[in-house]
Amino acid sequence: MTDEFVPVHPVPLLIVISGPSGVGKDSVLNRMKERGLPFHFVVTATTRPPREGEVDGVDYFFVSREKFASMIDNDELLEYAIVYEEYKGVPKEQIRQALASGRDVIMRVDVQGAATVRKLAPEALLIFLTAESEADLVARLHKRKSETAESLHLRIATARQELKRIDEFDYVVVNRNGRLEETVEVIQAIIRAEHHRVKHRKVTL
């Protein structure tokens, strides 16, 4: 017998941040990065062109359709989908390496992608980010003014359908206007609580 306490090394989590367009997923993740939190933030590959201010390898891996097709053929993606006529996918290897290093991994995907991740990694922690109301979400999408009227209409219709899938997630976090810090604090609290579960979420890929 010994009185020495041996702490248990926490099992790293695979954390999925999802939700409709316009709820502020990018803003939340960028604020978490600015805080210097010790997570691995997954960089998604996409065939869409970069928006103003986006940096390749930081915001996304911007790749050609030919390159994306090669990644599919070589089974390099955890999940991928066509989102508003462009391909998006999550590279597997960076997730495996980060989990193996003991770091929590945070990835941003759309609602469809979150469902795919749940099938492939049932122990992943799924967090649904939303606005205060459907009307608020629609107003945010209009305010962005980054796309055509037709594309905006599609995003709004898709967002309304995605809001109906909230029951597929473990937690819901409301990202209220002007309260980004509070949103980040809530997500951090969820992650801390998950590390204190009696039965840990052990993810295998």
DSSP structural state of residue 197:
-
Contact 110, 26 (CB under 8 A): no
Tokens representing residue 70 in the block: 């090669």
Please report, for residues 19, 32, 42, 114, 198, the alpha-carbon distance to residue 26 in angstroms, rounded to integers and kept in the order given. Answer: 11, 10, 12, 16, 31
Q: Which residues are catalytic?
A: 51, 144, 155
Task: Sort 20 into a burial class: Cβ within 10 Å, 0-12 / 13-18 / 19+.
Answer: buried
Angle in degrees, 0-180, between the axes of helices 149-162 and 134-144, rounded to the nearest 10: 150
Element housing 83 (H / E): strand 77-83
